[in-house]
Chains A and B, each alone.
Chain A
Amino acid sequence: AQSVTQPDIHITVSEGASLELRCNYSYGATPYLFWYVQSPGQGLQLLLKYFSGDTLVQGIKGFEAEFKRSQSSFNLRKPSVHWSDAAEYFCAVGAPGTASKLTFGTGTRLQVTL
Chain B
Amino acid sequence: DGGITQSPKYLFRKEGQNVTLSCEQNLNHDAMYWYRQDPGQGLRLIYYSHIVNDFQKGDIAEGYSVSREKKESFPLTVTSAQKNPTAFYLCASSMADRGSYTFGSGTRLTVV
Which residues of A are at the interface with B, using a C-beta cutoff of 8 A?
A: 9, 32, 34, 36, 41-46, 49, 51, 90, 94-107
Contacts and interface: CB of A to CB of B under 8 A. Distances in A.
Contact of A42 (B33, B95, B106): B106
Given A90-B43, A99-B31, A101-B58, A43 B106 contact: yes
B98 A99 contact: yes
Contacts of B42: 90, 104-107
Nearest to A45: B103
Given A98-B96, A106-B42, A107-B42, A41 B101 contact: no
B100 A98 contact: no
Contacts of A41: 88, 106, 108
Interface of B: 6, 30-31, 33, 35, 40-43, 45, 48, 50, 58, 88, 90, 92, 94-106, 108
B95 A99 contact: yes
B12 to A, nearest CB: 16
Contacts of B50: 99
B99 A102 contact: yes
B108 to A, nearest CB: 7
A42 B45 contact: no
Nearest to B31: A99
A102 B92 CA distance: 11
Contacts of A46: 100-102
Interface of A is mostly: loop
Contacts of A102: 33, 45, 99, 101
Contacts of B102: 46
A88 to B, nearest CB: 10
A44 B99 contact: no
A33 to B, nearest CB: 9
A63 to B, nearest CB: 15
B99 to A, nearest CB: 4
A24 to B, nearest CB: 14
B34 to A, nearest CB: 11
